[in-house]
Structure 1
């Protein structure tokens, strides 16, 4: 409903305009009348009308002066100037103020309504454009958020997508030169797991807290996996990388302070990886954060720990880092032959080093199986067994036990892929079909079936040939079509009943999928 203010020093003119407008047009209403320019300014400030019919020639503050004053209060207000003075001087001055409609007294009804209709259409078109731009911004923000979460999830699984810091910088509008990972974990003070609702509340708190604390860096927050969340910090300048420990400590101290102020029966721990200049190296930072957090959980009093590259030079020289990605990927795929081939290559590289010590080999295996355990956990696979390797055993025995344990892991992955994942996906479909009217998200469904959001999303699309959101939309539209046929139900009521909160958004989604708007679809059935 557009609000109209009538300004004229002649009472009969005001009353006539009010009557014409209120009796002739829908979606517009006269909300007040002002006898002079001064009162017009006061009423404009109080009521914020959409359109003002402004008489030019009035005692005291005239129409042109009133337009100037009101424009300063609210530039969006439109004016239709009304005057018996058909002179170029007056017309020119109001046109310079952005006034496009000019009606001469005595005014004909059709001229008044035509001018009002043109201005009304202009306002409605502008509002529609603003609404569409807002919708596009919200959807872009949502898409970027999902893309960021997917990117973080992919690098956790060593499947970094083909995108560079430069490309992310262009998308975010900043220059990105490097990045590093933090891994956040929360447990009760007794060392036990939080409940699902407590974990979700903590996850929401962490996202809000990070946004309030991190001001000068771009961050990408990964999904909640069990009681842990990986967060990617992107550095805008080279100096940020040099001072990254100082910056990271400032962020961590502020987060810990905020966390402690909540007075929860829980403890926050944070492992931090090192910064890297290339996007495909971020998995190294994540591994460093994993190992730091694993070490941190064994130290009762420390809240955070920086990872380092200790042993990485030795590891690189023996070929361990080079085969790690391939080995993790083969384990993830449950590919026994590939795992054996890569592992034998790894053993051969070690055997060539005559100065190799059993303690170093054991450390390499410890780190490898920590990463494998974390990878399985991210996939939603429950597997807590660790290889039984003693430090006093010789290298050959360590290799044999490591190989045996790898085979157990691969077999477990194969069983899970063949049975558990399929069952979980059908369980997810049933859950979506039963809760489509609720505010469900990919994360909430993934949590319900105990899979990581990233892996659930990938499995769902591979299995059913469509994304989670496409499937949810398909179900909602199917139910909407059945409801729309009933003429006793309003479209707004149907919108809310199938899980949408915005009728305009529902209408756009419906038309995109059906080819007709909800109103057009209802009419098509009514005419049959």
Structure 2
């Protein structure tokens, strides 16, 4: 159900809007009406509408001022300006005030329907990015699964950039919200990942479209650094502890003996546990995870293949290429070229 507030000093205009909303659209509920901007601001506080149809010219506080106040309190409220002024300057002022859309009076039913459908869809997308995807990420942090948490965060960042890539402030606000939820989960688990940041600095300081992914992943890395190095294995979570340990140390060779020592198990027992839980042996799993990291670097950076090999502690580039081809089915150069072609075609 979409809750709607109608704001216009002309009674007949509000009645016409009601008819359009009820007859042309489903799931619309009129929760209030106002004839002044001041009353609209009050009703927003008491009725919490999702969408507001706002006239510009009204006695006292006009629609532009009311829009600015409402948006300063809740940026996610959809405000559609209705006006008889066919003047580009008014449209500019409306958008500057924070309005989401601008429709000329007398508004045709088709214009109202199109605007409502467009903004309902956007709100659903925002809600999905804010709640569903983030909740999946938070769940993976809660159960301490580093590999899946990284995959979920990658999805969240993709959504974030798709929805807010051109809106710097909203991008930053949503990134802050994600970090806040991640850190709230840490508090529940008595973890203190923020101690890894230099005093007085913030993970989101100076965040931009180009740095948001790196910053959010840095927060996640610090969280799992706390989990891996600061928390004992408990409740038979040896396999999760090992997987997290591998993810945190993927840049260097990891032996079965080293991993077994980390969780205080024999290498023989850990080898059997690995095969039972993951249906793959320890060395194969580590190699595949290292190649996944190599694929990320090949796709998202311009690092030479030699540097990528060294980053993953392969000191012989030819051997690295041989392993990569065995796991991925093509050489590092072929993989990078294929991903480059995909990006240029999309």
Q: TM-score range by the shorter chain?
A: 0.3 to 0.5
The answer to which structure has the higher helix fraction is 2
TM-score normalised to structure 1 length:
0.33
Larger Rg: 1
